[in-house]
Chains A and B, each alone.
Chain A
Amino acid sequence: TQLLKQSPQFLSIQEGENLTVYCNSSSVFSSLQWYRQEPGEGPVLLVTVVTGGEVKKLKRLTFQFGDARKDSSLHITAAQPGDTGLYLCAGVNNDMRFGAGTRLTVKP
């Protein structure tokens, strides 16, 4: 059983569309991180959110940490083929536990 549930599992969209992926848990975390993983590579850290309600922007990506620090969302505006990859959220307390990920495909 995954501590963190990510939805949707798979998402295939056209270039230029907007999308939101979700990361939910019944546990409270001291921080939550988002990573992107491409085939044959390790995950790469995108952002860390620490405060409940915090919103961080990274170019076309917007990350939000829930008020109760149990969930998070990632919104991508005007998706591009280069955004294709596996998006993983990870909750931190004494260690870091990952969700199963959302596999995003952006078609040109």
Chain B
Amino acid sequence: DSGVTQTPKHLITATGQRVTLRCSPRSGDLSVYWYQQSLDQGLQFLIQYYNGEERAKGNILERFSAQQFPDLHSELNLSSLELGDSALYFCASSAVASANYGYTFGSGTRLTVV
């Protein structure tokens, strides 16, 4: 157990729908990062939050949004889902805003869009 909790573990939904993925960071960590992992694209950085504020943005689609709440948990919202959104979505956390000290990853949410 890495200390980073992601729910749900698996999610199957239809095209056009909206889903919310949830992440609780490791105790004491202020930064949360979201990554998408697919077979053809590898691990793609989506977005980072630090202490409730958006810190960095990567390849996140406009149909996707995220937020970090006062208790530091984070949610990733995916809307108007397409078949190509099927992937593993990972959340990671770190104590500081800098990536130089490494991240702790959760076990991921496997999203299947049918």
Q: Which residues of A are interface residues toward B (Cβ below 8 A)?
A: 2, 30-31, 33, 35, 40-45, 48, 50, 88, 92, 94-101
**Is A43 touching B43 in the complex (CB atoms < 8 A)?**
yes
Chain B interface, number of residues (Cβ within 8 angstroms): 23
Are the CB atoms of B107 and A92 closer together than 8 Å? no
In whole Å, how far is B107's beta carbon from the nearest beta carbon of chain A? Answer: 6
Decide yes or no whether B32 CB sits under 8 A from chain A. no
Is residue B48 within 8 Å, beta carbon to beta carbon, of the partner chain? yes
CB distance from B82 to the nearest CB of A (A): 22
Segment 39-61 of B: residues with Cβ below 8 Å from A: 42-45, 48, 56, 58
Kindly list chain A residues whose C-beta atoms are within 8 Å of the C-beta of B104.
Answer: 45
A42 touches B108 (CB 8 A): yes
Expressed in whole angstroms, the Cα–Cα distance for A83 and B104 within the complex equals 20
Flag if B43 contacts A98 (CB, 8 Å).
Answer: yes
Query: From A42, which residue of chain B is reached at the shortest CB distance?
Result: B105
Query: Does B99 reach chain A (CB closer than 8 Å)?
Result: yes
